[in-house]
Amino acid sequence: MDSFEWNKIAGAILGTVIFIFVVRLIGEAVYEVPEPAKPGYVVEGVVEDAAAGKAAPTEEVVPDFGTVLAKADVAAGKAVSARCEQCHDLNKGGVNKIGPAMWGVIGRARATEAGFSYSSAMMASHNPWTFAQLYKYIKAPAIMVPGTKMSFAGIRSADERINLIAYLRTQSDAPVAIPAPQPVAAAAPETAAAAAPKDGAAPAAGAVPVAAGAKDAPAAAAPAKAAAPAAAPATAPKAAAPAK
């Protein structure tokens, strides 16, 4: 074979490669699948964010802690806290483990336990831990504090979280006072959340005394029942209206 012959062979191979390449490019362009405007199926537990066209998780309504903590099961909460203890020391004078020492954590400024190296995500705020914030954080740590190094999936059950918070509250030299139950008309979620941070500073007149357990506070328990229906979604719009 002379060199002319070789050139023809090389040309044929190169031509084939280019041909395959072009066919693939065209194929991709023709068969590219556009995003459907509407999803073909609906995932339960997520609501459609109409503006962004994305699915957003449903925002949980924070309970009225004056109502739920007064009747919480502290002993059951202590049992739940076993799940935290592999990483947290809950006792007085406790040490930092994988997570920071937790004595008095409710009412304590966030990310301020001496000697513990927090993530920058946790350090982004030093607001004190309120009942409401802890309630959200324990449900899904990585959602409330994106980037937290607390690798804990979270506790879905609202009752378990409430009992746990009731127990953690007692693990303190000066437990944050349980707020007075919200009166029916003011039981909207915004007011419940807004009232929470003030607990530590100035307990409301009707607040349960610091050391009182649920059964020592019949006065708080009674109005709690009366306030309960306000948490039902049906009455929520009514409660919101006078707030304007």
In the complex, what is the shortest distance from the CB of residue 39 to ligand HEC, in angstroms, rounded to a whole number? 34
Contact 147, 121 (CB under 8 A): yes
Interaction between residue 118 and ligand HEC (CB under 6 A)? yes
Q: What share of the chain is helix, strand, coil (3-state, %, to 5)?
A: 45, 5, 50
How long a stretch of residues is the chain?
244
Residue 137 backbone dihedrals phi, psi, to 5 degrees: -65, -45
Interaction between residue 113 and ligand HEC (CB under 6 A)? yes
In the complex, what is the shortest distance from the CB of residue 85 to ligand HEC, in angstroms, rounded to a whole number? 8
Q: How far is Cα 155 from Cα 80, in angstroms, rounded to an integer?
A: 9
Interaction between residue 184 and ligand HEC (CB under 6 A)? no
In the complex, what is the shortest distance from the CB of residue 132 to ligand HEC, in angstroms, rounded to a whole number? 13
Encoded one letter per residue, x for contact with ligand HEC by CB under 6 A and - for no contact, window 61-100 reads ----------------------xx-xxx---------xxx
Residue with Cβ nearer ligand HEC (76 or 121): 121
Strand partners, 47: 56
Contact 47, 138 (CB under 8 A): no
Q: Is 50 helix (H, G, I), strand (E, B) or coil?
A: coil
What part of residues 120-179 is at the interface with ligand HEC (CB under 6 A)? 121-122, 129, 134, 137-138, 148-152, 155
Q: What residue type is 148 in one-letter code?
A: T
Binding stretches for ligand HEC (CB under 6 A): 83-84, 86-88, 98-100, 105, 110-111, 113, 118-119, 121-122, 129, 134, 137-138, 148-152, 155
